[in-house]
Amino acid sequence: MTASTTGPEPLPDFSVIRSHIAKLPRVKLIERPTPITEAPNLARVLNHDRPGNPRIFIKRDDLTSLALGGNKLRNLEFRLARTMSEHADTVIVGLDLQSNSARQTVAACNKLGLKTILVLEGSKPNVVQGNLLMDYLLGAEVHFAATREEQRQMLDSLADQTRKAGGRPHILNDNPMFDVASAAAYLEATLEVLEQLDAEGLAPSCFYMSSSGKGQAGIVLAQRLTGLGFAMHGVTATSEFHLPSRTAAIANETAKALGLDLVITQDEIVNFGEFVGAGYGVPSEAGIEAVKLFARTEGVILDPIYTGKAAAGLVAHVREGRFGANDVIVFVHTGGTPANFTWGDLWVDDTMATQRTTTP
């Protein structure tokens, strides 16, 4: 990787990039910038058998300000601005049963004085935990759909019911800012990281982030617009998409929305699909290990579905010796902490086993 800890070049002026982002309608939901913290213990553990540790930093987007935080609150500033412009009073959205996005959407809507109706794919569990528990705590009206097709039908039906009752519904899935919002948010977040590291006399070599294409598209735009030469490694948690083409398409849609004259090709996108494991929503052995490593070296809690699998990519690559002592790695922590409470056996059984083998 490119040496990055010794005398980085002065940062370019980001005001022009920010002026393009400022063209998008927006509501304020979070305080920016979110913290960035170094993880020296993790770096030492991963590199224990080689001289010279890369420096690892964690961009703490799990610490955005509402409902236990997460990356979606950045995106919702743009998505819900469109909602507010339509004078809606009710947001209806279809997501997964244990969706981080659902939790953050309900919290953001509460902040803006909007009612939220969730249509979640799956069945209501006997024991309500994790993100779903937070959805109820936050006061969402929650419905369950067995399939994507039923979910779509329910979204439309609930919107009709809301209109008949005198309400003004907005189906967030149909929001034209759905993808662009994520990319614009992470273009901006990348500028934050660059400035935070620059204040320490550092520059990033490489970013790692859990990716389904949207947020990664923003970091790829930042690569091109800043010309600073850092790499972007997206680690996917699902095999649903062809990530290079999807990421490039979202980047180009976002560039157009921002009035930027550039084109991103799929050849510029770097994704790693080998950390999905058995499938979307299923913890993997490598992801579980990565969650434990972050928790037990740095006290930082990831989740086993998204950030854990992204961290597994980082862990594997550092262990392979892809980075040297002059490299600075940035792990973008996108949140997801409540998911751990639906996978308690992953952590309790391990801890119990450890106690059994160490107690006299």
pLDDT in tens, 98-111: 999 999 999 999 99
Common-topology check for domains 15-68+178-358 and 72-174: yes
Is the pLDDT at 349 greater than 90? The verdict is: no
**What's the average model confidence in pLDDT over 314-327?**
95
Q: Which of 199, 198, 207, 228 is CA-nearest to residue 56?
A: 207
Is the pLDDT at 259 greater than 90? The verdict is: yes
Pick the CATH number of 15-68+178-358 from 3.90.190.20, 3.40.50.1100, 3.40.140.80, 3.30.70.600: 3.40.50.1100
Is the pLDDT at 317 greater than 90? The verdict is: yes
Is the pLDDT at 356 greater than 50? The verdict is: no
Report how far apart, in Å, the C-alpha atoms of 260 and of each of 101, 320, 354 are: 28, 38, 54
**What's the average model confidence in pLDDT over 155-182?**
97
What pLDDT score was predicted for residue 353?
A: 42
CATH fold group of domain 72-174: Rossmann fold (3.40.50)
Per-chain mean pLDDT for the chain: 93
The amino acid present at 251, given as its one-letter code, is: A
**Any bridge partners for residue 170, and if so which?**
91
CA 335, 337, 342, 344 dihedral sign is positive
Q: Which of 168, 145, 164 is CA-nearest to residue 92?
A: 168
350/285: higher pLDDT: 285
The strand order across the sheet containing 115-121 reads 141-145, 115-121, 90-96, 169-171
Beta carbons of 29 and 61 less than 8 angstroms apart: no
Which pairing describes strands 115-121 and 36-38: parallel, antiparallel, or unpaired?
Answer: unpaired
The domain limits of the chain are 15-68+178-358, 72-174
What pLDDT score was predicted for residue 52?
A: 78
317 contact partners, CB below 8 Å, separation of at least 6: 233, 323
Is the pLDDT at 11 greater than 70? The verdict is: yes
Which of 45-49, 137-141, 275-279 shows the lowest per-residue confidence on average (mean pLDDT)? 45-49
Is the pLDDT at 49 greater than 80? The verdict is: no
**What's the average model confidence in pLDDT over 135-156?**
98
Which pairing describes strands 115-121 and 90-96: parallel, antiparallel, or unpaired?
Answer: parallel
Is the pLDDT at 115 greater than 70? The verdict is: yes
Exposed/middle/buried for residue 246 (C-beta within 10 Å: 0-12, 13-18, 19+)? buried
- Assign 184 a pLDDT band (cuts: 50, 70, 90): very high
Beta carbons of 247 and 215 less than 8 angstroms apart: no
Output the pTM of the full model. 0.93
